[in-house]
Amino acid sequence: MTTSLASPAASAIPTDVLQRFDRPGPRYTSYPTADRFVEAFGPADLLRALQQRRHGGAGQALPLSLYVHIPFCESLCYYCACNKIITKRHEKAAPYLDYLAREIGLYVAALGEGQPVSQLHLGGGSPTFLNDAELARLMELLRSRFALAPGGEYAIEIDPRTVDTARLRHLAGLGFNRLSFGVQDFDPAVQKAVHRVQPYAQVEQLVQGARGLGFESLNVDLIYGLPLQTPASFAQTLEQVVALRPERIALYGYAHLPERFKPQRRIHAGQLPDGAARLAMLGAALARFEAAGYVYVGMDHFALPSDALAVAKRQGRLHRNFQGYSTQPDCDLIALGVSGIGKIGASYAQNAKTMEHYCDLLDQGQLPVVRGLALTRDDLLRRSVIMALMCQGALQFEAIELAWLIDFRAYFAAELAQLRALQDDGLVQIDAQGLQLTATGWYLVRAVAMVFDRYVQADRARARFSRIL
């Protein structure tokens, strides 16, 4: 089977297929997904995984990836489903950095000083809640305990309301080379409805400033399905985003789950666009980004052909982790801070979700892990299959068989039977050598991946997930 990694055409998606697959499903930043983590996995389990890495684990030779969660925000965005602390008291940041230093110390004690790092991502919350001195302190702390590799990817999420060009210059001086701007929508009425007002001119000025400072890649986050959005208003936002010409665009469908995320209770459900309008916005976005020259990287992500993410996809080097698509190898991920989720070897671990619990565990000298998962062989096998679909859009049966010593057709007989229906829908092509996503299938890759998800197949109550579209 020949693997094609070309960007699919938006026009390849029939409306009836979009409607049929507009249903909840995991985003597969991991497999198994985080809802499968158990509280029986704790600090001792993570410590064993770290010691295995130090003493010859399979991932020992690969550089680490670091994620640092900064939970603070000055104001509440009503759509937000992230773990955050809303406060205007900036004095809370310094004690939090003290606790991050303790957590880093525990990791260094387990792994040794100077572990190489090729990828760093600061997320939140709003990392730019920290002032310049606090950001400098955090970066100095990380550089003093880890070896940040030259040429690595060092990214930070930006709330445009909290920075100016001078702050961007400071970030560049600290070594950040990638910025992600939280935009969501430029329409003033939509911004007011979600309590996040930031004029287009403000973002445009920051983008121009970042270009002048030499940042390697800029990302813009967008959300469709927000209150008061219409296909016409969102089309205008698309034009404004294309005019900014960011190297990457992340386009997410809003998941209205007010029973799980309290801030969303402030959104009036009657103001949300209906299914037909959501699909119209999605279709318009796919067509506009394609016309502007963007490559569809996979599941909500677009990049200019020259961007490292698009290059990695063309070369078959694309990977996926808890931050989304990545150009880095499938390396271990250390997640620092409240609610952070990391991966070490064949295990996942998540930190305490509240500041009080996080600090209490560190005060006891423990890694602040409250749940996680030790993956079984079946989990690891299915993870390799799902990630091949999510990143390469294809499976070679023989490659899986040689790597895992299985008969693919026998092991996944039930899954292959389900895939025949998806083949009839035009999502996949299957032959004796393997299967490949079609142009339509690339946009509905979550639906294909779900076929191989043993947990989802056993549990049809998927309302806890966001919708595929």
Tell me the pLDDT of the chain (469 aa) as tens digits.
444 333 444 445 666 776 777 777 888 889 999 999 999 999 999 999 999 999 876 556 789 999 999 999 999 999 998 889 999 999 999 999 999 999 999 999 999 999 999 999 999 999 999 999 999 999 999 999 999 999 899 999 999 999 999 999 999 999 999 999 999 999 999 999 999 999 999 999 999 999 999 999 999 999 999 999 999 999 999 999 999 999 999 999 998 989 888 899 999 999 999 988 998 898 899 999 999 999 999 878 999 999 999 999 898 888 888 878 888 777 899 999 999 999 999 999 999 999 999 999 999 999 999 999 999 999 999 999 999 999 999 999 999 999 999 999 999 999 999 999 999 989 999 999 999 999 888 888 889 999 999 998 887 555 456 666 6
End-to-end CA distance of the chain: 28
Beta strands in 71-184 (DSSP E): 72-73, 85-86, 115-124, 146-158, 178-184
The candidate with the shortest Cα–Cα distance to 341, out of 357, 361, 321, 355, is 321
- Per the CB < 8 A criterion, the answer to whether 343 and 333 are in contact is yes
| CATH superfamily of the domain spanning 34-334 | tm_1862 like domain (3.80.30.20)
Cα atoms in the 13 Å half-sphere on the side-chain side of 35: 15
Number of C-beta neighbours around residue 136 at 10 A: 14
| Kind of pairing between the strands at 178-184 and 217-224 | parallel
**94-132: burial string, b at 16+ Cβ within 10 Å, e else:** eebbebbbebbebbeebbeeebebbbbbbbbbbbbbbee
Query: Are 1-32+377-469 and 34-334 in the same CATH fold?
Result: no
Between CA 170 and CA 137 the distance in angstroms is 12
Q: How far is CA 312 from the centre of its chain?
A: 16
Between CA 154 and CA 171 the distance in angstroms is 10
Structure tokens at 463: 């309302």
**Looking at residue 429, what is its pLDDT?**
96
**Looking at residue 11, what is its pLDDT?**
47
Cβ neighbours of residue 212 under 8 Å, at least 6 residues apart? 165
**Looking at residue 298, what is its pLDDT?**
83
Residue 125: cis peptide before it, omega within 30 degrees of 0: yes
**Looking at residue 56, what is its pLDDT?**
78
Three-state DSSP class for 125?
A: coil
Number of C-beta neighbours around residue 352 at 10 A: 20
Structure tokens at 372: 């996680």
- Per the CB < 8 A criterion, the answer to whether 361 and 43 are in contact is yes
pTM for the model: 0.91
The torsion angles phi and psi of 237, rounded to 5 degrees, stand at -60, -40
Between CA 203 and CA 11 the distance in angstroms is 31
Between CA 57 and CA 343 the distance in angstroms is 13
- CATH architecture of the domain 1-32+377-469 equals Orthogonal Bundle (1.10)
Q: Where in the chain are the domains?
A: 1-32+377-469, 34-334
**Looking at residue 87, what is its pLDDT?**
94
Between CA 230 and CA 225 the distance in angstroms is 8
